[in-house]
Amino acid sequence: MRTHLPLNALRAFEASARHLSFTKAGLELHVTQAAISHQVKSLEENLGIALFRRLPRGRP
């Protein structure tokens, strides 16, 4: 049973979901796009599910 989820990862996910962009989430949270991506990936691994469908750049 999980007791805690990483707060920074949750913030990264929330901002990414709201903006539909890791880049814009990074700008809002003052971190790089790569940092957001890593945080979301760690949250996905922690939960055991994919939270985003990753597409090549420029595709909806």
Q: Could you report the per-residue pLDDT of 24-40, keeping only the tens digit for each? A: 999 999 999 999 999 99
**pLDDT over threshold 70, residue 60:** no
Band of residue 57 on the pLDDT scale cut at 50, 70, 90:
confident
Question: Burial, 31: exposed, middle or buried (Cβ in 10 Å; 0-12, 13-18, 19+)?
Answer: middle
